[in-house]
Amino acid sequence: MGDKIMKKSISILMAGLLSIAAVTAFAADQGVPFPEGYRNWLHAKSMLIQPGHALENPFQGLHHVYANKQAEAGLKTGKYADGSVLVFDLLQYQEKDKTIQEGERKLVGVMLKDAKKFAATGGWGFEGFAGNSKTERLVKDGGTSCFACHASEQKTDYVFSQYRP
Amino acid sequence: MGDKIMKKSISILMAGLLSIAAVTAFAADQGVPFPEGYRNWLHAKSMLIQPGHALENPFQGLHHVYANKQAEAGLKTGKYADGSVLVFDLLQYQEKDKTIQEGERKLVGVMLKDAKKFAATGGWGFEGFAGNSKTERLVKDGGTSCFACHASEQKTDYVFSQYRP
């Protein structure tokens, strides 16, 4: 291969890689930030999903749902103002000695309400962060698959969790 | 039985009942108030206790531990200031369709730190409230039996829970 052809091939390859990187970056950040401070928000409820459940991958584990102040109001009224954030904090668990105990964090799921920005997915932006990372984003389809499942909950503005005192 | 004897018997009976009531009232309130607002405190951790566990009665269920601001600092430093409150919120659970879901509340356990007042039980006052009641108290022995179990955790000021981010 001549030098010129080699250089051209490399440029084309680089351009291709940059395009992929750009698309990936776009797909990986829909504008739902990591929910800083959520561990001090209202703990709305918890649930454990076992192996064999339809949502086993990726949701098998013990999850806790947290709500910021706007989402707390939403849980109580059924209407979520823009800025409402719900967090789905998914932990592994260990079953031993007649107990089930919390393990490592698997992912942090986030729903952020912005009726205009996320109109295509019910007014909610969906994101997931891997393990304890605040930057490794898991949602690659703009939240379409998340919303497909949440769509059944239209009556409660697409939120599964219900307030309990 | 003559009227006089009858009256005397009734007085003795009444005095006896009043004494019992007084003792019960004393035994039923060690000065640990219901932890108003705890559902908005830090959710420290959760754990599930299954049938067959040594603490099955009364702690079988899914429990969530909540900490007020002072207790949150205590979880992080290992030292609990007076006024620290930890809540053990115990719910029933239902296992179905490859999930474990929260059920009704069984009891609300409370630890209140007051080093002087509760010196006999490691500086902690212990109380339990039945179900969703804020008045039906469960601890009848001044917290002695609670403390007997917590005594193993002297290194962390008698607190089992550990902080996790």
Both tokens of residue A31? 């504008």
B63 shares its domain with B111: yes
Per-position pLDDT tens, chain B of length 165: 456 655 656 565 555 444 444 444 444 577 999 999 999 999 999 999 999 999 999 999 999 999 999 999 999 999 999 999 999 999 999 999 999 999 999 999 999 999 999 999 999 999 999 999 999 999 999 999 999 999 999 999 999 999 999
Q: In total, how many domains does chain B have? A: 2
Residue B161 within any structural domain of the chain: no
* A125 and A93 within one domain: yes
| Of the listed ranges A76-80, A120-124, B1-5, the one predicted with least confidence | B1-5
Instruction: Give the A:B interface size as CB pairs under 8 Å.
Output: 64
DSSP B36: T
Question: Is residue A131 in some structural domain?
Answer: yes
On the question of pLDDT at A80 being above 90, the answer is: yes
Minimum Cα–Cα distance from A53: chain B residue: B98
Q: Please give the structure tokens belonging to residue B72.
A: 């949150």
Nearest CA to A87 out of A48, A32, A13, A50 is that of A32
Q: What is the mean pLDDT of chain A?
A: 89
Q: Which of B46, B132, B165 sits opposite A64 (nearest CB)?
A: B46
pLDDT for A11-31, tens place per residue?
655 554 444 444 444 445 779
The domain spanning residue B148 has which CATH number? Answer: 3.50.70.20
Phi, psi dihedrals of residue B98, rounded to the nearest 5°: 65, 30
Q: Do both A64 and A99 map to the same domain?
A: yes
Question: Strand, helix or coil at B41?
Answer: coil
Q: Are residues B116 and B39 both part of a single domain?
A: yes
Could you tell me how many residues make up chain A? 165
Q: What is the ipTM of this complex?
A: 0.83
Confidence at residue A28, expressed as pLDDT on a 0 to 100 scale = 55
Q: Are residues B15 and B55 in the same domain?
A: no
How far apart CA A159 and CA A86 sit, in angstroms, is 9
Residue B64 and residue B12 share a domain: no
pLDDT at res. A24: 47
Q: What pLDDT was estimated at residue B30?
A: 79
| pLDDT value at residue B21 | 46
B59 and B76 co-located in one domain: yes
Residue B29: what pLDDT?
74
- Any domain includes A165: no
User: Are the C-beta atoms of A161 and A42 separated by less than 8 Å?
Assistant: no
Say if CB B131 and CB B101 are below 8 A apart. no
Residue A23 structural domain? 1-30
Q: How far apart are CA B85 and CA B117, in angstroms?
A: 14
The 10s digit of each residue's pLDDT in A136-158 is: 999 999 999 999 999 999 999 99
Does residue A164 belong to any structural domain of this protein?
no
Looking at chain A, the whole-number percentage of residues with pLDDT higher than 70 is 83
Question: Quick check: is B163 in a domain?
Answer: no
Q: Is B13 part of a structural domain of the chain? A: yes
Do residues A91 and A117 share a domain?
yes
Q: What is the pLDDT of residue B108?
A: 98
Residue B18 is predicted with a pLDDT of 46
Q: What is the pLDDT of residue A5?
A: 59
B47 and B24 within one domain: no
CB–CB contact B100 A47 (8 Å): yes
> H or E stretch including A130?
strand A124-130
| In a domain? residue B25 | yes
Assess whether B19 and B44 both reside in one domain. Answer: no
- Return the residue in B34, B48, B88, B106 with the most chain A beta carbons within 10 A, the one to mutate for interface testing: B48
DSSP B51: T
Split at pLDDT 50, 70, 90, the class of A43 is: very high
* Contact check, Cβ <8 Å, B46/A46: yes
**Confidence bin at A4 (pLDDT 50/70/90):** low
pTM of the model: 0.84
Residue of A nearest to B131 (CA): A165
